[in-house]
Structure formats: C-alpha cells, structure tokens
Amino acid sequence: QTDKGTILVEVYPKLTPITVDNFERLVKDKFYDGLTFHRVEEELIQGGDPQGDGMGGPGWTIPLEINPDLKNKRGALAMARAQDPNSAGSQFYILKADMPALDGQYAVFGRVVKGMDVVERIEAGDKMLTLEIQ
C-alpha cells in the first residue's frame, strides 16, 4: 500500500530463495512500512532505504542471486545494490520499462501483477504505507 494506491507483486522463492527470504523477512518485520521511494526515474522507482538517500540498508547484505529465467522487464521487482554485486540489503526497484542491460547484474525476484498504473504515478518522496504478505 502506497500513497498512490496498491501495488501487488508476486515473488519467486523457488527461483531466488535467498532474495525472497530476505525480502519477506523485512516485510514481516515491518521494515518497509513508512519508508519512501527515494529514487524515481523514467525507467524505474526505487525504495527500501531507511535513510531515504539511497545509502541505507538493514544492517546486512545478501549475495547476488541471478536466475537466467528472470529478466529486467517492465514490472520486474529486483534488488538494488551498490557497485559490489553482493551488497543488496533492503533497497529494491520496480521497472517501468524493459532494461535488458541490467540482466545478470541485479537480482530479479518478482514482478508486479496488479498496480502498474500506481507504479507510474509514484513520485520521489511517496511513502510505502504498509507491505504485507498474502
């Protein structure tokens, strides 16, 4: 649930178990509730940083987990990271456009199944009100 409406995603625990487990742990711990989308560009929205400036995380990192069947296409849900491939923690992005140049470099672990119109309306500073697992 965001300031602009609901975004429903599905995740792929069989294809990216480490990444999905990390994301679900953060959701269950209410880590994301109240955080903002700090980065909004023509191609993507990014959030999950408790500092709100693109530099924060949960206090740990996870290894880069790539599944060749999951591509950086419009609607993809993937982990953001620093230059170190194994530096993802809590920040994630949702793509508003296909970005095949990111394939093999960022862990895609889900996709938007409902609410791409909401993704398109998100602006920098908009909040994630609540995240929940169904």
Task: Give per-residue pLDDT as tens, 18-55.
Answer: 999 999 999 999 999 999 999 999 999 999 999 999 99
Tally of CB atoms within 10 A around 67? 15
What is the SS3 assignment for 96?
coil
Percent of the chain with pLDDT over 70: 100
| 133 pLDDT more than 90 | no
Mean per-residue pLDDT over the chain, rounded:
97
pLDDT at 45: 98
Band of pLDDT at residue 96, cut at 50, 70 and 90? very high
Neighbour order of strands in the sheet with 37-40: 8-11, 108-114, 76-79, 92-95, 44-47, 37-40
Q: Residue 134 pLDDT > 80, yes or no?
A: no
Q: Which amino acid is at 91?
A: Q
Read off the pLDDT of residues 62-75 as tens digits, 9 standing for 90 and up: 999 999 999 999 99
